[in-house]
Amino acid sequence: MVKPKLTILTDPMAVGQDIFSETARRFARRLKYAVLERSPTSHPRFRGHFAVTRSLVEGLEKIGADFNYNPTRLSQLDETVIVLAGVRTLRQAIRLKQAGRIRKLFAGPNVVHFSSDFGSILASPDVDAVVTPCDWVTENYVTDNPSLLGRIFAWPAGVDTAFWKPDAGIKRERILIFDKHPATDDPERIQPFADYLHDQGWTVDVLKRQRGKVGYTRESYLQLLQHTCLMVGFTGGSESQGIAWAEAWAADVPTLLWRNTQQVLHGRLLHVSTAPYLCEQNGLFFDDLEQFKQQFAHWQVHRTQFAPRKWVLENMSDEVCARQLYEKVMLC
C-alpha cells in the first residue's frame, strides 16, 4: 500500500509517550459529544479551528490530493506533515521529526497566538516553515522571532462555494449589519449606522456575534445573506483572516467593513487589520460614520463594479486555497 504524500494533523496520535493521555482524551471527547449538544463550531471530524480544518481537508479531497488527516498509526504518517493546530500536536511532531519519522514539518495557522508563546515552539529549528492566516500576523511573528524570516508564509483558508452561494430566486433588497464584538464593546455602536440606513429607506437586518459565542447557524447566516445586497461589518478590533466576510463574498454580497489598524492584544500594541483580504472587488473600508456615508454612496453608484463571488471563486474557494497550500509544502 502506497502512503499518501501529505499528512494533516490537528491532534497528537495515541502513540509512544502520548498513548495513554491521548487515548483518555479521545474517550472523554466521544463521551462529551454523546452527552452534550455541540456548538456550531464543534465537529467530531474537524478538530482545531473548525472552518480552517474543514476547508483544507475538504479542499484537498475536492482536488484529489494525496493526503491523510489525523492518522491513528505511525505507519500511516507521511514524511511531509502540516500541524494545523495544537501545541501538544506540534510537540509530538517535533519529537517525531527528531526521530526521523518526519522529513518536512509545517506548523500553523492555529497553533499559537504569538510566535513567542510556549517557549517560541513555533520557531523551533525542526519546523521547516510556519503558516499564518495573513500578512499582519506574519509581520508580528517575525518581530518576535526574526529566525522565522524566510521560513514563514501567509495562507488563507477557503470557503465552500457550493454552500455559500446566492439564490437566484430571491430578490435581494435588504442590508445586513454584522457586528462581531467582545462583551466590553458598546452594544449600541451600530445604531447610528442602522439609523442612517433606515433614513435612506433601506430595510436593515442585524446579526450579532459576541466573542466566544456564535449565536447563529451557518444555515441562518446563509439565509440572511441570500436576502442581502450589501453587508456592513464590524469586529472587535482585528481579524486574522475574516472567514465570515469571505462567506458573504461567496454569496455574492459585497461588504463595507469598519477599519481598525491598531489593537492591544495581551498587553501589546500591534498593527492589525479588520479584513486582511478586502479588495476593490469585494468591498470597501470605512473609519467612522461620516466616511461610511461616503462609501455607502459610492457603493450605490458603482454597485455593478463589485464582483465578490467571482473574486472568491478565483482566490478563496476550498479548492483554490487547498491547492495553494498543497503545492507550497510539496515544493519546499
The CATH number that applies at residue 134 is 3.40.50.2000
Between strands 203-210 and 129-132, the pairing is unpaired
CA distances from 161 to 100, 173, 247, 285 (A): 39, 22, 8, 24
Residues 322 and 301 in one domain: no
Residues 97 and 207 in one domain: no
- As a whole-number percent, the residues of the chain with pLDDT over 90 amount to 81
Q: Please give the pLDDT value at position 184.
A: 75
| Residue in the structure block whose three cell numbers are 470605512 | 286
| Tens-digit pLDDT profile for residues 245-291 | 999 999 999 999 999 999 998 889 999 999 999 999 999 999 999 99
Residues 28 and 114 in one domain: yes
**Overall residue count recorded for the chain in this entry:** 332
In a domain, 182, yes or no: yes
Report the candidate in 258, 294, 251 with the shortest Cα–Cα distance to residue 278. 258
In a domain, 78, yes or no: yes
Residues 262 and 120 in one domain: no
| Tens-digit pLDDT profile for residues 294-331 | 999 999 999 999 999 999 999 999 999 999 999 999 98
Q: Please give the pLDDT value at position 29.
A: 57
| Tens-digit pLDDT profile for residues 190-230 | 999 999 999 999 999 999 987 656 678 999 999 999 999 99
Domain extent, residue 224, equals: 174-315
Question: Phi and psi dihedrals of 52, rounded to 5?
Answer: -70, -50
Residues 11 and 149 in one domain: yes
- Long-range contacts, stretch 219-223, CB < 8 angstroms, 24+ apart: 221/247, 222/163, 222/164, 222/247, 222/251
Residues 254 and 266 in one domain: yes
- Cell numbers representing residue 113 in the block: 497566538
Residues 198 and 116 in one domain: no
CA 203 to chain centre: 30
Residues 322 and 300 in one domain: no
Select the more confidently predicted residue: 237 or 122.
122
Q: Please give the pLDDT value at position 200.
A: 97
Residues 214 and 127 in one domain: no
Residues 139 and 236 in one domain: no
- Please count the CA atoms within 13 angstroms of the CA of 114 that sit on its side-chain side: 15
In a domain, 165, yes or no: no
Residues 324 and 287 in one domain: no
Residues 133 and 224 in one domain: no
Q: In the predicted model, is pLDDT for residue 37 greater than 80?
A: no
Segment 180-197 shows an average pLDDT of: 88
In a domain, 203, yes or no: yes
- Give the total number of structural domains in the chain: 2
- Cell numbers representing residue 318 in the block: 476550498
Q: In the predicted model, is pLDDT for residue 40 greater than 90?
A: no
In this structure, of 27-36, 225-234, 238-247, the range with the lowest mean pLDDT score is 27-36
Q: In the predicted model, is pLDDT for residue 46 greater than 60?
A: yes
Q: What is the mean pLDDT of the chain?
A: 92
* Cβ neighbours for 283, distance < 8 A, ≥ 6 positions apart: 245, 249, 254, 255, 256, 257, 275, 306, 308
As a whole number of angstroms, the distance between CA 189 and CA 159 comes to 29
